[in-house]
Amino acid sequence: MSFTQRILLWAFLASVAASMVLAVTDPSWLAIPAMLAAWYFADLLSGLIHMYMDYRPCRPGMGLDAIFFYEGSRESAEYQGMFRDRMRRLNPFERISYDFKNHHPRPDALGRRQLWRLIGSTVIAGALPISIIGNLAALLFPIPGWVMAGFATFLVGGAFAQYFHGTLHRQDNPWFIVAMRKLGLLMSPAAHQIHHDTLKRDFATNSGWSNPLVNALFRFLRSRGHLPDANLEPSS
């Protein structure tokens, strides 16, 4: 992780901590349901984004099929050169979409990625500016502490969603991940495996609490002819 990336990460964490300080200075029993609701909506967001990215078609003519179906070693100079060339052709949003598709046949690769690779774009494009704006609003207006507690919880759940996803694909995880799974705040690898077995359900990757709702939405969209299986892989 570069120096700039570390600064951005610590700035985000400091901003979230500031939100929690604002919440603690105005305590309320409403903070608990607010945090649980925020954790649910962060999970829902992870599921909706996952579903969209999985079934968002790749732009044709980018040569992504050549690297997606590459049969040789992905550590080879040939593959690495092809990969860099193809990624340069895509905008950041398209690269994220490709990563979601590439993840299905190679799930363990996600668990090997560094923290910033997993959360960097989310922090820069959304979580950090939203966190700063929320804190400024709380300083200028009488926003209740329980709202700030829910706000901070949602930011953590949203910003670290892909990190939580990555922990589902590796054996060794920090103690707090294990503890959060035992509390039901994070889903288990076995529960997430259902998604990989079907690619048609259980898209949420935080707690999984929202999967019934996301599954219902997926079935509705499929019944209307949306989200075709052909979009799960890049075409030539």
| Mean pLDDT for the stretch of residues 45-73 | 92
Which residue has better confidence, 13 or 125?
13
Average model confidence (pLDDT) across the chain: 94
Which pLDDT score is estimated for 19?
A: 96
Q: At what angle do helices 145-159 and 128-140 cross, to 10 degrees?
A: 170
* Domain parsing of the chain, residue ranges: 3-232
| Mean pLDDT for the stretch of residues 110-119 | 88
Which pLDDT score is estimated for 26?
A: 95
| Mean pLDDT for the stretch of residues 34-40 | 98
Range with the lowest mean pLDDT among 4-18, 62-76, 129-143, 199-213? Answer: 62-76
For residue 174, pLDDT over 80 is answered with yes
Question: For residue 199, what pLDDT band results from cuts at 50, 70 and 90?
Answer: very high
For residue 80, pLDDT over 80 is answered with yes
For residue 236, pLDDT over 80 is answered with no
For residue 92, pLDDT over 90 is answered with no
Question: For residue 142, what pLDDT band results from cuts at 50, 70 and 90?
Answer: very high
What is the SS3 string spanning the chain?
Answer: CCHHHHHHHHHHHHHHHHHHHHHHCCCCCCHHHHHHHHHHHHHHHHHHHHHHHHHCCCCCCCCHHHHHCCCCCCCCHHHHHHHHHHHHCCCHHHHHHHHHHHHCCCCHHHHCCCHHHHHHHHHHHHHHHHHHHHHHHHHHCCCCHHHHHHHHHHHHHHHCHHHHHHHCCCCCCCHHHHHHHHCCCCCCHHHHHHHHHHCCCCCCCCCCCCHHHHHHHHHHHHHCCCCCHHHHCCCC
Question: For residue 96, what pLDDT band results from cuts at 50, 70 and 90?
Answer: confident
Which pLDDT score is estimated for 2?
A: 86
124-134: per-residue pLDDT in tens? 989 999 999 99
- The CA distance from 141 to 87, in Å, is 44
Nearest to 1 by CA among 159, 119, 90, 127: 119
Full-model pTM? 0.92
Which pLDDT score is estimated for 227?
A: 95
Which residue has better confidence, 61 or 7?
7
| Mean pLDDT for the stretch of residues 7-21 | 95
- Give CA 61 to chain center in angstroms: 27
* Cβ 213 vs Cβ 41: under 8 Å: no
